[in-house]
Amino acid sequence: MDALKKIFKFLSSMTFAIILLVVLAAACAAGSFITQGQTYEWYAEAYSESAAAWIMALRLNDAFHSVWFVVIALFLCGNLLLCNVIRLKSLIQKSRQAGEPKKEPEQTADAMAHQISDPVQVFERLRMPKPKSLEQDGKQILFSVKNRAGIWGAWVCHLGILLLILGFGLGQMTKAEYTVYGVPGQTLLIGETGLFLQIDDFQVNLREDDTVEQYTADITVFRAPQGSTAEPDSEHAVISVNHPGRMFGMTFYQNATGWAARVTVEKSGSPIQSEIVCAGEYLPVVDLNDLVIVFNAFYPDYVSVPGSMPMSASSKLNNPGYLYSVYYKGNIIGMNVLLEGEQVTIDDYTVTFTEPQNYTLIQIKKDSFTWLAFMGGITTMIGLFFAFYLQLQAVCAVRDEDETWTVYGFCNKGGKLYEDLFSRAVQNTEKEAGRKE
């Protein structure tokens, strides 16, 4: 029983909190130094075989989602929860007591006593609220307290961190994420949601210096109607970078862009295939799957410099150039740059590239707990502000028999700095009283 108690005490202790925080920091540092998400072979190549073995064994290849990382986070949550639960009662008590006059200096570590004739001025100089006058043990007492909420700072901050970790964790476990890409006019299925995304328009706004100002996509999302006569349930949004749209409880982000073109294949003079293909993608020929056209790259303003790689002089569509390669049974049989109006012939087949245009890549996310993490962050901020900038202060003046007053000051965490402040307030008050006399 004693052992259990000891373990419980340790798990709820600040020592454990400090250990956990240090371990967490070390884990984060390790996770940032080691490139994440690679294979054993990759690490063996980049570092060494034994390092790779350690990395894989400790799951340092995916440190932030590994079991041990989650376990540390859970321990921290438990630690925080226990700490806050245990301290709640004494905090409530402390908060109540803070409202009562502290006339005995030994009640508080930082208390100070000074004899003075006009105590009200000290309250004013210390920017305390107007003091209350009351009687205790036959003595008149002036008392004022401020920043009582500050006592709760650490507690609120701890609560905020708990909410933050909870919101982040739940979000990680339940979130859904999809990516679609295409050109205006296309309609794409969004994963297994049963929703369709139609790209109505996509614009890349260039500045005069040829840099990109904004990417803007006009999109409509709809649910395929059950009965054929029903109107589809649809929502529309214009999204751009930094301005996502919300539809059907999901958030749509304009995430990336690239070039696409229409690839047309003709056989013996008659078209057999015509599709929009994005740069980087490939197209197997319909009636001869062993023949594959790869659209390697696109140059909107193609310039040919002998002896160097193809390049684009600007982002404007002045002289479209399509870098393609052709594979037959997995072997490359040709590679070149085609210009507008040119074609490549492979036996009976001819291939042309036309209609260069930007495609848009849209990311779709659903995280139902972002709000919780956000609340956690805000709560943490408020807690920190309370802890750091609302320091509990109390001033108490007791009237002595000889009509002079003794003032006591107290500031939570104020230490010697508050003592200076307090002494200065008292001295200045006395100086002024001296001058008046």
Could you tell me if 75 and 67 are in contact, meaning their C-beta atoms sit under 8 angstroms apart?
A: no
Q: Rule CB under 6 A: say whether 109 interacts with ligand HEM.
A: no
**Could you say whether residue 293 binds ligand HEM (CB under 6 A)?**
no
Q: CA 206 to CA 224: how far, in whole Å? A: 36
The stretch among 77-85, 124-132, 345-353, 362-370 that binds ligand HEM (CB under 6 A) is 77-85
Give the interface segment with ligand HEM, choosing from 75-83, 96-104, 117-125, 201-209 (CB under 6 A): 75-83
Give the list of residues 6+ apart from residue 157 with CB closer than 8 angstroms, or none: 379, 380, 383, 384, 386, 387
> Binds 22, which of another protein, ligand HEM, none (CB < 5 to 8 A, cut-off by type)?
another protein
How many residues bind ligand HEM (CB under 6 A)? The answer is 14
Pick from 1, 3, 4, 14: which binds ligand HEM (CB under 6 A)?
14
Cα separation, 67 vs 69, in Å, equals 5
| Location of structure tokens 């003595």 | 139
Angle of helix 67-97 relative to helix 14-33, nearest 10 degrees? 140
Task: Decide which of another protein, ligand HEM, none touches 33; Cβ closer than 5 to 8 Å per partner kind.
Answer: another protein
Nearer to ligand HEM, 358 or 380 (CB): 380
Token pair of 245 as six digits: 């749209």
| Total chain residues near another protein (CB under 8 A) | 51
**Binding-site partner at residue 332 among ligand HEM, another protein, none, CB < 5 to 8 Å by type:** none
Told to check if 203 binds another protein by CB under 8 A, we report no
Of residues 288, 316, 287, 276, the one with CA closest to residue 300 = 316
Figure out which of the listed residues 102, 125, 146, 158 binds ligand HEM, where binding follows CB under 6 A: 158
Please report whether residue 70 would count as binding another protein according to CB under 8 A: no
Contact 165, 77 (CB under 8 A): yes
How many angstroms separate the CA atoms of 37 and 427, rounded? Answer: 66
Q: What distance in Å separates the CA atoms of residue 253 and residue 215, rounded to the nearest whole number?
A: 11
Residues that bind another protein (CB under 8 A): 14-15, 17-18, 21-22, 24-25, 28-29, 31-33, 35-36, 64, 168, 207, 209, 211-215, 240-244, 251, 253, 255-256, 363, 365, 370, 373-374, 377-378, 380-381, 384-385, 387-389, 414-417
